[in-house]
Amino acid sequence: MPRPSSAGYARNSREDVLAAALRILDEQGLPDLTMRHLATTLGVQPSALYWHFPNKQALLAAVSDQIIASARPADPGTGDWRDQVRHEAAALHDALLAYKDGAEVVSSTLALGLGADGLAHRLSRAICAGGFDPQTTGLAAETMVLFLVGHAFHQQQRLQADSLGVVAAPHSLDPADLPRGPQAFNLGITLLVAGLDTQSRPARPA
């Protein structure tokens, strides 16, 4: 698509557009994150946004990468590989939950193959420290990504649905039960790490 001639391009950098998109997502949710609404927020015509993003899918992919990048990485010198994996998984999971509909945005980006590779890359780096071969490392990271994104997506959906009063009464969330979400996630990651630890590693050179 040809880049339009617009003063909006000069006024707003790519970082400005991403920051505005993240604010809309966090304050209003994914349904309100449209190119038209984003342009209105920035005070430009929608065509000005195409200087930075060719379409909405590209914008959401960049938003996903920003959400993932906000997760604090583990210190490579702290703990063994198991601790590193648990830290990375928890930090990435928290990052998805930190933005309204954050897990849905990242899940869609992953499903379309448009980005959000930081999830697997960070988990793979931590898993690799355990001495696993590349195939095992990749499969384990992919499994953990599916678990943490799915868990965060489900948790956000339940919280939002419950706040709107649309969840069947027997299944509505009691505030006292909210800590169970993190507990279930932590147990799931612990079980995945324990299972991975039983897998064989290539023999190290003598």
Domain residue extents for the chain: 10-54, 73-197
CATH assignment of 10-54, given 3.90.950.20, 1.10.10.60, 3.40.50.300, 3.20.80.10? 1.10.10.60
The DSSP annotation for 101-149 comes to THHHHHHHHHHHTSS-THHHHHHHHHHHTTT--HHHHHHHHHHHHHHHH
Model confidence pLDDT, tens digit, residues 122-142:
999 999 999 999 999 999 999
Percent of the chain with pLDDT over 70: 81
Rounded to an integer, the average pLDDT of 83-99 is: 94
Res. 169: pLDDT tops 60? no
- Residue 201's pLDDT is 78
- Residue 7's pLDDT is 45
**Mean pLDDT, the chain, integer:** 85
Residue 165: which residues within 8 A CB-CB, separation 6 or more? none
The tokens describing 50, both together, are: 């195409």
Fold agreement between 10-54 and 73-197:
no
Which residue did the predictor score with more confidence, 204 or 112? 112
pTM for the whole thing?
0.83
Model confidence pLDDT, tens digit, residues 5-62:
444 444 788 999 999 999 999 999 999 999 999 999 999 998 889 989 999 999 999 9
Q: Which CATH class is domain 73-197?
A: mainly alpha
Rounded to an integer, the average pLDDT of 79-84 is: 89
* Lowest model confidence (mean pLDDT) among 7-21, 54-68, 81-95, 102-116: 7-21
pLDDT band at residue 3 using 50, 70 and 90 as cut-offs: very low
pLDDT band at residue 202 using 50, 70 and 90 as cut-offs: confident
pLDDT band at residue 76 using 50, 70 and 90 as cut-offs: low
Res. 167: pLDDT tops 80? no
Res. 172: pLDDT tops 80? no
- Residue 104's pLDDT is 94
The CA–CA distances, whole Å, from 161 to 17, 117, 128, 158 equal 29, 29, 38, 5
Tell me 52's DSSP state.
T
**Residues 32, 34, 38, CA angle at the centre, nearest 5°?**
95
pLDDT band at residue 163 using 50, 70 and 90 as cut-offs: low
